[in-house]
Amino acid sequence: MEYGLIGEKLGHSYSKLIHEKLADYTYDLCPLSREEFPGFMERRDFKAINVTIPYKKDVIPYLDEMDENAAAIGAVNTIVNKNGRLIGHNTDFSGFEYMVVSNGISLSGKKALVLGTGGASNAVAAVFRKLGAASVILVSRSGKGEAVTYEQCLSAHTDAQIIANTTPVGMFPNVDASPLDLTPFTSCEAVLDVIYNPAKTRLTIQAEALGMKGVTGLSMLIAQAKYACEFFLERPIDDAVIPEITKAVEKECGL
């Protein structure tokens, strides 16, 4: 494999379609079990790869170097093999920032919740802080580290104005699941779900029903792929391709 994506379950992925529209290379989907993952990383038999759930943190011990963005976030979704040295990057930050800004969502002075503490949550929280959020609260089932539990969230943080879901809850094929009931969040203006399949999650459908803005993650997926492709090929690509490819993917995948 020269270019591709590794993760545990990739049957829902649009990454092959997106990357092969971005550039003239073959992009392979490479699902890896927990047992297969170490051997794959040790072999280093690729030019460049993307990394998704659940390996964004697990790849770090195999790297020779990380850029500042990846190091600060503590997760990697893009790895480039430069003459046998593995360099880690994180394009989730730029991809999520594009998703927020392109949808006209303001964070300035607002209270934001980030559901989940996996590989994408740190990037999402960092974007919220960069865009001026007054406070960013992490929410997880366990409440470990800096996160609060969902129960604590419901007792103390229902005044949040922006909510982002970085968990896989609600992702295909479990499309009837939702990580949170939005009904108590009467001050919420917008809900951003990084899930891109289905095109509308149960969480964003409820958000819209309650008069909130609901945005799912296809634009983030395509934006982060564009930024990853720039690392792969070591050349810039115009941001104008992002909405173009978004429309093409929506059409081809019936979204």
What are the residue ranges of helices labelled H in 121-217? 121-130, 150-156, 202-209
Residues 190, 103: Cα–Cα separation, whole Å: 10
Q: Which of 56, 110, 111, 226 is an active site residue?
A: 56
SS3 88: strand
| Rounded Cα gap, residues 154 and 189, in angstroms | 17
200 catalytically annotated: no
- Alpha carbon 47 to its chain centroid, in Å, reads 22
Amino acid at 147: A
Using DSSP, state whether 214 is helix, strand or coil. Answer: strand
How far apart are the C-alpha atoms of 53 and 120, rounded to whole Å?
A: 9
Residues labelled catalytic: 56
